[in-house]
Structure 1
Amino acid sequence: MKQILVGASLTALMAGAGLAQSYLGDLAIDPEDAGIGTQHYSPFVDQSFPNRVFWGDTHLHTSYSTDAGMVGNALGPDEAFRFARGEKVRASLGDYAQLVRPLDFLVVADHAENLGLAPMISESNPQLLANSWGRQVHDLVKAGDPLAAYVLWGESMMVNTDPLDDDDLTRTFYNRIVDTAEHYNEPGVFTALNGFEWTSVTNANNLHRVVMFRDGADKVADIVPFSNYDSSDPEDLWDWMEAYEARTGGKVMAFPHNGNLSNGLMFDDARANGEPLDAAYAERRMRWEPLYEVTQIKGDGEAHPMLSPNDEFADYGTWDRGNFGTELKTPEMLPREYARDALARGLKYEEEIGVNPFKFGMIGSTDSHTSLATSREDNYFGKASMAEPSAIEDRISENPIQPDFLGEEITVKHYETIASGLAAAWARENTREAIWDAFKRKEVYATTGPRMTVRVIAGWDFEPEEVHRPDFAAERYARGVPMGADLFAGPEGSAPSFMVRALRDPDGANLDRIQVVKGWVDANGEPRTKVFDAAWAGDRAPNADGILPPVGDTVTGADYTNTIGSAALGAHWVDPEFDPSQHAYYYVRVLEIPTPTWLAYDEAFYGNLELPEDAVMVHQERAYTSPIWYAPEG
């Protein structure tokens, strides 16, 4: 006879298993309906664990971002939401675009700095024309010289001085985005989340954050998004967020991204004001920034081959030449830029100051500036509108990010971008509240574009055959914790076991393998990381050095087949090197079989593109889950 454990019985069971008590607050059980030990014929009565994956992009720019609208993007928030909902949309260069399947949620995250400048110019906005600088850039664009106007704006950004300094104007155009989000938000069908991007560029080093609200227009209308003109210090952004919550009763969080362009500042050992990290800072950072955008168009930020030399898959979408064009990268910057090592360094900080400042979950998003959330390699509309699909040279050689102030050695060309990524959220319903709450509890994961389903649950008493049960999640949630949660000390002599299920994108490639990435602090106080193969397709076996042979390669030009790999993989993995006295984190990486990159699709479509010799034509896309953290105490 089936029996559903709810309410106090579930609390006791989790406490007895040494599981994270904090997760209980996220289980949506109505106390009035929770009968202790009540038996139901239907196994789904009172079921409350997150049972669906919702897909979205939390980092999309429209023509309201000056670095999009001033360089060719003619599509506003309306087109962005319609495209994300699955509609066919005409891109800025004239071709049509459409997603293979609609997204479930979207954040239009336009830059706060002079938000709406391009549409202001297009409309000849009277408030803009009343400003002498505004009149100047307006007249340059209307005279046919938008590049000169863009350069003029860029000069203001470089000296961090707002050339308009008009909150009313910013508020007007931000409200347009909010109104558009309200129009397209349809609970249960599509979630339009409100947000913006704070664009801190301290000495041309990237410290950008996307800000995402849980709230609708009743709370976010009429705000003036916090901008780099206000401050370049993330702690000042947190102050602004805290004030927003106190004033409105709303909820808000932020996501850093592109540590690879921060030259060591994203996960630095010091605060922006130069003071050392302390417990108060660590608590505030994790309060306001529970997640990190680990992969997107401007490079992948999970790992670096110099930091993980034994990881054959670490060199993926690597951008490691410098910041935004003014300073070259040096090796000592790298550990403070990549998620895997930052997570391990967070454990070391926890030992030293009592709080982990880098205890973040992981998501992906596009950072597209085309208004089109395209993350598939066969449907990639580029970083910016001048690099939308075409046979013109800009598609390949445009320099979208790093000016060549220091010469070609720092410049990254558009052919080195990747069509990444997406955020996946485990929730029960597609609403602003449910999606935001999934992000807050870190029950989310990143992919480089494919929509592969990945679930991870850790506990102390799982058996290998349980990973194949059809009720995999229902039972395991009662005895374990999901991605993003804490796992506390278990029975003496036991090691944590991880139950992982992965299912390929139904419109994508088969899976190669499931890996578990572990981080810890060794006896000498040094952060360490290691990658373990947990499950794989086919009858391969690790060699004498523990290396698993490649899955194979079916790619020919822009074609591949799913004759290798597996549509689904399941893993029951027990840490073979577990030390119960040692803090650790564990996250899962799932790899697809080799597939063509967008360059291969372009070559097949346009032909004879004369691609550079180092152009990557084949890769293995992947997913990264939020970690599970083990702590000896609890």
Structure 2
Amino acid sequence: MKYCTPSIALTFAATLFGSGFAAAQTVMDGGGALDPAKLEGLFPARAYSPYAGRNFPDRPFFGDTHLHTEISMDAGAAGARLSPADAYQFAKGKELTASSGQQARLSRPLDFLVVADHSDNMGFFPKLLAGDPSMLADPTGRKWYNLIQSGQGAEAAMDIVTQFAAGTFPDALMLAPDTPAYKSTWEDIIDAAEEANDPGIFTAFIGYEWTSLVAPGSNMHRNIIYRDGGDVARQVLPYTTQAPYGSNNPRDLWDWMENYEAKTGGDILAIAHNGNLSNGIMFPVIESFDGKPVDLAYAQTRAKWEPLYENTQMKGDGEAHPFLSPNDEFANFETWDKGNLNVSAAKTPEMLQYEYSREALKNGILLQDKLGVNPYKFGVIGSTDSHTGLATASEDNFFGKVSSMEPSAERTSTVFMKTDIATIMEWEVGAAGLASVWATDNTREAIFDAMARRETYATTGTRLTIRFFGAWDFAAADALSRTPAQIGYTKGVPMGTDLGPRAGDGAPTFLVAALKDPIGANLDRVQIVKGWVDATGKTQEKVFDVVWSDAETRQPASDGKVPAVGSTVDVKAATFTNDIGAPELITVWTDPEFDPALRAFYYARVLEIPTPRWPAYDAVFYDLALAEDVRVELQERGYTSPIWYEPQG
């Protein structure tokens, strides 16, 4: 073998690498390291790499902000035997034995989890289950203990919830926050989150649910999430609804949150539970349930402490209702509208406008016109509200709302709740949902901060990806980019924010992009929902189909509506195919009916093609013949946080 002499080798290298090789030599200092001074003027101001210098959130993190374990008294009574530590391990992807004795595992780990056990009576159920003499000395405690021991835990759980809601829960069985049993339970919850938290890999938030029920059982619950670690969170005990330690009034909760931050220097936020079971009191317009006016102080305080709303979960979808949105063919989705939380009071039509997020967003603009502040300027997330310790939101992996509803051949024909008002079957419980957060890192700080700025979206359990930006000058060509977020953040604002001052005479433009769940269904369509208050002071809404699959064959009808995408669902086999729909959809849309004088909000709703609902999977697994009224098909979806337009001046 012949070798080149050094001079020949250098000549060859210079020829091969050209000026680039020479340039590389000129930026080095005498020690062979880069010399910043020599870089000046050498390259264009704009980096060749489109990702260089990127500092915006570049991925969605999926999680659950509303999970209960055996510590919650209703969950424990209904059979939950998994602890907060178990719940975090399951969310991280570990296979566990469920409370019913079956093996369970997620298809993919979650990115974050909040174990949100009820703050009221923390520590009660473990003492009851253990047969603590102080619990069994009370006749009601003895009755519940006997029901649980005889396999009738669901009945005990219902009685516990009913008595708690009615204010008849025995005082002898209540554990006040200053008792040793309560304090040690809170310490256990904090310790479980601290142990599970793995910055950059998995975020375990400290949190709890403040379980306000306004008699006779209207739901005003909030989930409290801490940005803080245990050293800060344990300085103040959770807020409850028990007098004199707490209250069922959100105004008092907000005062407690203010005091917590003042005392500890920490950061917390509240997420209102989906309001479809509040019987008209979740989003007041004139006065709240306590008779106090919805005034400027109310608007400012609620907007400060509640940046997010739980748009969907197992007990129904909270985005829209067909009574309120008769022109929206997709409004009737997983609707629960028979009554309040424990179905102790019937639902009436006039209650609905104060329960659903779309109506609240419209009423928020109405209140802003009146008060100067919008109390309902919230972003959205989804979560499960599972009481099993298992955050299962997938239709093919659904472990029920409570542990007595874990997979069995009977659950599709079993009553979930029955009163003189109405009956709810277990098959009506939805396998939902997930919170998706656009954050820079998988840490408590980054995810919490994204929640606080409302850069979030809700899904009904799917892990589809949605980007939504607003600007005054998006162009059609922007939808051709493979880096739409770069354009979105550069030219506009992301979901959850206000659109800046109007530029020129144009209408707002929106860049929306959706990508299917990698192991899920194709996409049907992307819609933009607009809400506003017209010149006469009436709230208005309109749903626009802005981009959809198979556009060549699916042309809008005379009313502007795009035809249904069809269905590939084989109910008997509980399968579907992705022969229809699209893996991704992206477009730039301009509001064709824009009035610069009127406040408005816009959010994106993304629908997947039809897929089997969880009872269809049960029917195949257990070889069941389902009743005709059991829903076996659905269109999963995602909802973004809104973008708000404010008129100048």
Q: TM-score, normalised by structure 2?
A: 0.87
Whole-Å separation in 1 of the counterparts to 2:431 and 2:147: 31
Q: Where do residues 15-54 of structure 1 align in structure 2 (5 Å cutoff)?
A: 40=47, 42-54=49-61
Aligned position for 1:4: none
1:206 aligns with one of 185, 209, 219: 219
1:501 aligns with one of 513, 516, 521: 513
Change in CA separation of 1:423 and 1:139 when aligned onto 2, cut-off 3 Å: closer
1:547 aligns with one of 556, 561, 570: 561
Whether 1:115 and 2:125 are equivalent positions in the alignment is: no
Give the total of aligned pairs. Answer: 590
Aligned position for 2:635: 620
Whole-Å separation in 2 of the counterparts to 1:311 and 1:143: 48
Q: Which runs of 5+ in 2 are unaligned?
A: 1-43
Whole-Å separation in 1 of the counterparts to 2:147 and 2:559: 62
Whole-Å separation in 1 of the counterparts to 2:65 and 2:160: 29
SS at match of 1:513: strand
The answer as to whether partners of 2:507 and 2:594 remain within 8 angstroms in 1 is: yes
Q: Where do residues 218-367 of structure 1 align in structure 2 (5 Å cutoff)?
A: 218-221=231-234, 223-229=236-242, 230-269=246-285, 270-323=287-340, 324-367=342-385
Whole-Å separation in 2 of the counterparts to 1:153 and 1:325: 11
User: For residues 50-73 of structure 1, what are the alpha-carbon distances to aligned partners after superposition, in whole Å with 9 as ceiling and x for unaligned?
Assistant: 111100000000011110111111
Aligned position for 1:594: 610
The answer as to whether partners of 2:131 and 2:145 remain within 8 angstroms in 1 is: no
Aligned position for 2:401: 383
The answer as to whether partners of 2:311 and 2:317 remain within 8 angstroms in 1 is: yes
User: For residues 582-621 of structure 1, what are the alpha-carbon distances to aligned partners after superposition, in whole Å with 9 as ceiling and x for unaligned?
Assistant: 1000000000001110011111111124x33221111111
Q: CA deviation at 1:153?
A: 7.3
Whole-Å separation in 2 of the counterparts to 1:117 and 1:222: 22
Whole-Å separation in 2 of the counterparts to 1:375 and 1:165: 32
The aligned amino acid for 1:71 is: A
Aligned position for 1:27: none
2:113 aligns with one of 93, 106, 110: 106
If asked which structure has higher relative contact order (CA below 8 Å, sep 6+), I would say 1
Aligned position for 2:488: 476
User: For residues 534-583 of structure 1, what are the alpha-carbon distances to aligned partners after superposition, in whole Å with 9 as ceiling and x for unaligned?
Assistant: 00000211011212111111011111000000000002110000011110
Q: CA deviation at 1:403?
A: 4.0
Whole-Å separation in 1 of the counterparts to 2:228 and 2:508: 38
Aligned position for 1:566: 582
- CA radius of gyration, larger in: 2
The aligned amino acid for 1:258 is: N
Change in CA separation of 1:146 and 1:542 when aligned onto 2, cut-off 3 Å: closer
Q: CA deviation at 1:131?
A: 8.0
Q: CA deviation at 1:143?
A: 6.1
Whole-Å separation in 2 of the counterparts to 1:475 and 1:152: 53
Whole-Å separation in 2 of the counterparts to 1:182 and 1:420: 26
SS at match of 2:423: coil
SS at match of 1:458: strand
SS at match of 2:424: coil
Q: CA deviation at 1:240?
A: 1.0
Aligned position for 1:372: 390
The answer as to whether partners of 2:136 and 2:145 remain within 8 angstroms in 1 is: no
User: For residues 153-189 of structure 1, what are the alpha-carbon distances to aligned partners after superposition, in whole Å with 9 as ceiling and x for unaligned?
Assistant: 7535521665324323212101101101111100000
Q: CA deviation at 1:478?
A: 1.7
Q: CA deviation at 1:146?
A: 6.3
The answer as to whether partners of 2:531 and 2:602 remain within 8 angstroms in 1 is: yes
Whole-Å separation in 2 of the counterparts to 1:332 and 1:41: 58
Whether 1:485 and 2:493 are equivalent positions in the alignment is: no
Whole-Å separation in 2 of the counterparts to 1:156 and 1:460: 52
User: For residues 369-411 of structure 1, what are the alpha-carbon distances to aligned partners after superposition, in whole Å with 9 as ceiling and x for unaligned?
Assistant: 111100110001111111111112x453232xx54133xxx22
Whole-Å separation in 1 of the counterparts to 2:397 and 2:274: 23
SS at match of 2:544: strand
SS at match of 2:255: helix
Q: CA deviation at 1:414?
A: 1.1
Whole-Å separation in 2 of the counterparts to 1:113 and 1:93: 26
Aligned position for 1:33: none
The answer as to whether partners of 1:596 and 1:618 remain within 8 angstroms in 2 is: yes
Change in CA separation of 1:149 and 1:460 when aligned onto 2, cut-off 3 Å: closer
Whole-Å separation in 2 of the counterparts to 1:535 and 1:620: 17
The answer as to whether partners of 1:171 and 1:223 remain within 8 angstroms in 2 is: no
Q: Which runs of 5+ in 1 are unaligned?
A: 1-36
The answer as to whether partners of 1:489 and 1:580 remain within 8 angstroms in 2 is: no
Instruction: Give the stretch that moved more between structures: 162-171 or 594-603.
Output: 162-171
The answer as to whether partners of 2:618 and 2:624 remain within 8 angstroms in 1 is: no
Aligned position for 2:83: 76
Whole-Å separation in 2 of the counterparts to 1:145 and 1:448: 32
Q: CA deviation at 1:232?
A: 1.0
User: For residues 506-544 of structure 1, what are the alpha-carbon distances to aligned partners after superposition, in whole Å with 9 as ceiling and x for unaligned?
Assistant: 010000000000000012100111100000000211011
Whole-Å separation in 2 of the counterparts to 1:330 and 1:149: 29
Aligned position for 2:11: none
Change in CA separation of 1:206 and 1:470 when aligned onto 2, cut-off 3 Å: same
Q: CA deviation at 1:44?
A: 3.7
The answer as to whether partners of 1:255 and 1:293 remain within 8 angstroms in 2 is: yes
Change in CA separation of 1:541 and 1:152 when aligned onto 2, cut-off 3 Å: closer
Q: Where do residues 169-180 of structure 1 align in structure 2 (5 Å cutoff)?
A: 169-180=181-192
Change in CA separation of 1:525 and 1:608 when aligned onto 2, cut-off 3 Å: same
Aligned position for 1:556: 570
Instruction: Give the stretch that moved more between structures: 147-156 or 200-209.
Output: 147-156
Whole-Å separation in 2 of the counterparts to 1:174 and 1:371: 17
RMSD: 2.1
Aligned position for 2:440: 428
Q: CA deviation at 1:112?
A: 1.1
Aligned position for 1:65: 72
SS at match of 1:412: strand
Whole-Å separation in 1 of the counterparts to 2:45 and 2:291: 57
State, as a whole percentage, how many aligned pairs show the same letter. 50
User: For residues 191-232 of structure 1, what are the alpha-carbon distances to aligned partners after superposition, in whole Å with 9 as ceiling and x for unaligned?
Assistant: 000110011110111111111111110111254221222211
The answer as to whether partners of 1:511 and 1:567 remain within 8 angstroms in 2 is: yes
The aligned amino acid for 1:56 is: G
Whole-Å separation in 2 of the counterparts to 1:528 and 1:313: 17
Give the 4+ runs in structure 1 shifted more than 6 A: none
The answer as to whether partners of 1:129 and 1:138 remain within 8 angstroms in 2 is: no
The answer as to whether partners of 1:387 and 1:395 remain within 8 angstroms in 2 is: no
Q: CA deviation at 1:335?
A: 0.8
The answer as to whether partners of 2:362 and 2:533 remain within 8 angstroms in 1 is: yes
